[in-house]
Amino acid sequence: MKRKVTRRDFLNGTQVALGTSLLTPWSEVFGASGDGFSLDPDYYPPAQMGLRGSHAGSWETMHARVSGATWPTSPVDETYDLVVVGAGISGLSAAHFYRNENPAAKILILDNHDDFGGHAKRNEFQVNGETRMGYGGTETIDTPSSYADISLDLLRDIGIDVQRFYDYYDQDLYASMDLSYGIAFDQETYGQRKMVAGYGSTPWAEFAAQTPLSDVAKADMVRAFTDEQDYLPGMTRDEKVALLEKISYREYLRDYVKVDEQVLEMYQRWGMSYWCVGMDEVPAIYILGYTDGGGLPGLEHTLPRK
């Protein structure tokens, strides 16, 4: 084989080889023509700039299919031991684990995007002639110290040394500069545009007093943080978990902690950078033990951590 082996052979020597012929567009799978789509021979997805998401060519065919379009199909002659749909972390991991158990297995991995990795796909750019890499969507490898052995083995297999994080990331930076978390209140919701610092480090009553919240909302915020109250009395731990898995955090604050609407709005966008949805879509159980940014109220005494 004279063709140079690239990163598409799956990250630093793992045994899963990816046949990554770009389907341009995906409609070729269904026998439709690829008119209107072409790729430069040097097309390299990790170096593409801008907000890409589901890029051109990745969604048109499925949209057409949902709208009722059909295409002729051809018989498939190839035989595979495993077919994985989705080349994100889970799909690639499934193929990797299967290959470990079946070294001679023939595996086909399908994805409608132009690069593998899903949310964790590679984002590559040049700075003064040197290659810099970032993530294409996934924000963190969260708390690998608590991972199961099989997950840690996977990270090692693909060349990720989690200990390097402690060498490269200054965990004391904010504290050394006496910085703290704060909340930006907007004019439209609170009648005043104001940044209030000290969230999580200033006593709650003192913090609330500086905000443009109404008196009722201030009192509710302080109560939610300081009252040692079980907001789900009479329920067993299992019953509480079952309920908190079914309702959103916003519902929990509204219906059980019973805080003012302004407090609900203050926390509505809290998880956008992490979960990419508002708190009306984040299950309340996810908030248990969430301490980033000073923490979120209402669950500490309702469902204490074991």
Q: What is the pLDDT along the chain (306 residues), one digit of tens a residue?
A: 344 434 433 333 333 333 444 444 444 444 444 455 566 778 888 888 777 777 887 888 888 889 998 888 778 788 999 999 999 989 999 999 999 999 999 999 999 888 888 888 888 888 999 988 877 766 666 778 788 999 999 989 988 888 888 888 888 898 899 888 899 999 999 999 999 999 988 999 999 999 999 999 999 999 999 999 999 999 999 999 999 999 999 999 999 999 999 999 999 988 787 788 899 999 999 988 676 666 789 898 898 876
Contact 189, 265 (CB under 8 A): yes
The strand pair at 130-135 and 181-185 is best described as unpaired
What does DSSP say about strands 194-199 and 122-127: parallel, antiparallel, or unpaired? unpaired
**Considering only CA atoms, which of 234, 232, 292, 224 is closest in space to residue 263?**
224
CB 107 within 8 A of CB 92: no
Residue with tokens 């033990």: 289
205 C-beta neighbours (distance < 10 Å), count: 13
Helices (H) and strands (E) in the chain, counts: 12, 6
- Phi, psi angle pair for 126, to nearest 5°: -110, 135
| Residue for token pair 């060519």 | 57
Report the C-alpha gap between 209 and 202 in whole angstroms: 11
Q: Name residue, tokens 């005494």.
A: 301
- pTM value is 0.60
